[in-house]
Structure 1
């Protein structure tokens, strides 16, 4: 039994997937990016709230907090994650012409 476990561990340790994961280093694998949503005078609160919910899949109250921050401070960090995730979130927000920017943390 012990030798089977050792064999299984050794075999899984050398899979191409594991090697690929080891090779993928750098900031794209971390939550090193963030989506910043900027204020504009073109959208209603409800439009922004609904789009934030759609983009980051959050509760209405969280979307309302982000929307209020955008309104009062001019911007809000609405999401942090990998570059691919940030691009997805940003593109959903921009579907209704909201202004966003992806920044590094």
Structure 2
């Protein structure tokens, strides 16, 4: 970013950052759901490929949590609500 393109006020800075998708959904590991169910939810609700769904499910299993979706605040809220309705444990992050 060149100096002439840098935001000059707080509002401009906030608008600039909001457009870069700093929001995300974090999926937490549980002992209730089978791997295949979590993968299916990741593909269906987070729009992941089978390969990415397997990777996120494994990271969640191994580390206890993983980012499963990144997007605008509205997109993340919708994904988090859908994941919660699927009985998976998620939170929104910034």
Q: TM-score range by the shorter chain?
A: 0.7 to 0.9
Rounded Cα–Cα distance in structure 2 between residues aligned with 1:50 and 1:96: 11
Measured after TM superposition, the shift of residue 25 of structure 1 is 2.5
Could you say which structure has the larger radius of gyration?
1
- What TM-score, normalized by structure 2, do the two folds share? 0.78
Aligned length: 82
Tell me which residue corresponds to 1:50: 40
Taking only aligned residues, the RMSD between alpha carbons, in angstroms, comes to 1.8
Tell me which residue corresponds to 2:26: 36
Query: For the Cα contact (< 8 Å) 1:38–1:76, is it kept in 2?
Result: yes
Measured after TM superposition, the shift of residue 59 of structure 1 is 0.9
Gaps of 5+ in 1: 1-21
- What TM-score, normalized by structure 1, do the two folds share? 0.71
Rounded Cα–Cα distance in structure 1 between residues aligned with 2:44 and 2:81: 11
Measured after TM superposition, the shift of residue 56 of structure 1 is 1.6
